[in-house]
């Protein structure tokens, strides 16, 4: 039991996270690399997140319409879709897309740098590779995912408005009014805050897997693969925890 590889891995990830908090907030600050990573992680994910957000809103609206129509509740579609996207679908779908795109690329990039001794070369050049590579990427993913989620939510809601207008006519003002009337801060804020944790999970797992990649090209592939698998799983676990915490705080 105590020799379990699962426990050993969990312990190693916890240590890696501890190192992030120990080293991440002490100088020297790698501001330039951090901003560059924000650009890579945030800006370059925009098209992917935008498209998935749009499809998510559209499909959700089109799928729910027949059922809602059966109960004569079509006018409730904006409220229902708004709640679904803001509270759950937006954060989770965006985080999963983000894990697939960014988690894998961080895992592969750092893994390949480890295998070709580029991380050692950095250390020899007088650079702390943990700060330069890990801290900047984890901070970038933690801060960029919430922004991407807000954007995906907005695009998803707009897609829902488009979907509603496939049959019948609804004005944007009425649609917005319906969406907002169904939302409270207790819906929006916990959903927003949990995305910081999702972003942190994607960054820290991607960096951990890459930073400690095994030698050889197979090690790079394995690092990219397990970065996505583990961070996706962690996103669901964090989501479950977030539901429990918000319930305890009386937000549900």
Q: Does 127 bind other proteins (CB under 8 A)?
A: yes
Question: Could you give the CA distance from residue 49 to residue 149 in angstroms, rounded to a whole number?
Answer: 8
* 44: nearest Cα among 110, 97, 88, 91: 97
Nearest approach, Cβ of 16 to other proteins (angstroms)?
Answer: 18
Helix (H, G, I), strand (E, B) or coil at 216: coil
Stretch that binds other proteins, among 83-91, 108-116, 177-185, 186-194 (CB under 8 A): 108-116
Nearest approach, Cβ of 131 to other proteins (angstroms)?
Answer: 10
- The conformation of residue 134, written as its DSSP 8-state character, comes to I
Question: Could you give the CA distance from residue 230 to residue 103 in angstroms, rounded to a whole number?
Answer: 10
Residues in 128-147 at the binding interface with other proteins, rule: CB under 8 A: 128
Count of residues engaged in binding other proteins, rule: CB under 8 A: 14
Q: Does 118 bind other proteins (CB under 8 A)?
A: yes
Q: Looking at beta carbons only, is 109 or 153 nearer to other proteins?
A: 109
Spell out, one character per residue from 40 to 69, where the chain touches other proteins: x when CB under 8 A holds, - when not.
------------------------------
Nearest approach, Cβ of 19 to other proteins (angstroms)?
Answer: 13
Nearest approach, Cβ of 134 to other proteins (angstroms)?
Answer: 15
* 76: nearest Cα among 178, 171, 181, 180: 178
Do residues 138 and 35 lie in contact, with contact meaning Cβ atoms separated by under 8 Å?
no
Q: Which two tokens stand for residue 138?
A: 């984890």
Binding residues for other proteins, rule: CB under 8 A, are: 109, 112, 116-118, 120-128
């Amino acid at each position: 039991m105590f020799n379990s590889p699962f426990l050993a891995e969990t312990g190693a990830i916890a240590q890696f996270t501890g190192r992030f908090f120990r080293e991440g907030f002490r100088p020297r600050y790698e501001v330039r690399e951090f901003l560059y990573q924000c650009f890579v992680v945030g800006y370059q994910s925009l098209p992917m997140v935008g498209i998935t957000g749009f499809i998510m809103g559209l499909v959700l609206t089109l799928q729910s319409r027949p059922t809602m129509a059966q109960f004569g509740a079509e006018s409730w579609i904006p409220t229902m879709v708004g709640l679904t996207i803001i509270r759950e679908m937006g954060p989770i779908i965006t985080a999963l897309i983000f894990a697939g795109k960014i988690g894998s690329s961080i895992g592969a990039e750092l893994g390949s740098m480890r295998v070709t001794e580029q991380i050692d070369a950095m250390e020899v050049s007088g650079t702390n590779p943990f700060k330069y590579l890990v801290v900047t990427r984890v901070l970038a993913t933690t801060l960029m995912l919430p922004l991407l989620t807000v954007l995906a939510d907005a695009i998803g809601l707009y897609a829902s408005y488009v979907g509603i207008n496939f049959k019948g006519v609804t004005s944007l003002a009425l649609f917005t009014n319906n969406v907002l009337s169904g939302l409270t801060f207790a819906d929006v804020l916990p959903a927003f805050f949990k995305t910081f944790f999702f972003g942190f999970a994607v960054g820290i797992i991607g960096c951990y897997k890459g930073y400690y990649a095994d030698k050889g090209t197979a090690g790079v592939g394995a690092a990219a693969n397990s970065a996505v698998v583990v961070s996706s799983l962690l996103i669901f676990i964090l989501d479950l925890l977030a539901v429990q915490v918000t319930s305890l705080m009386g937000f549900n």
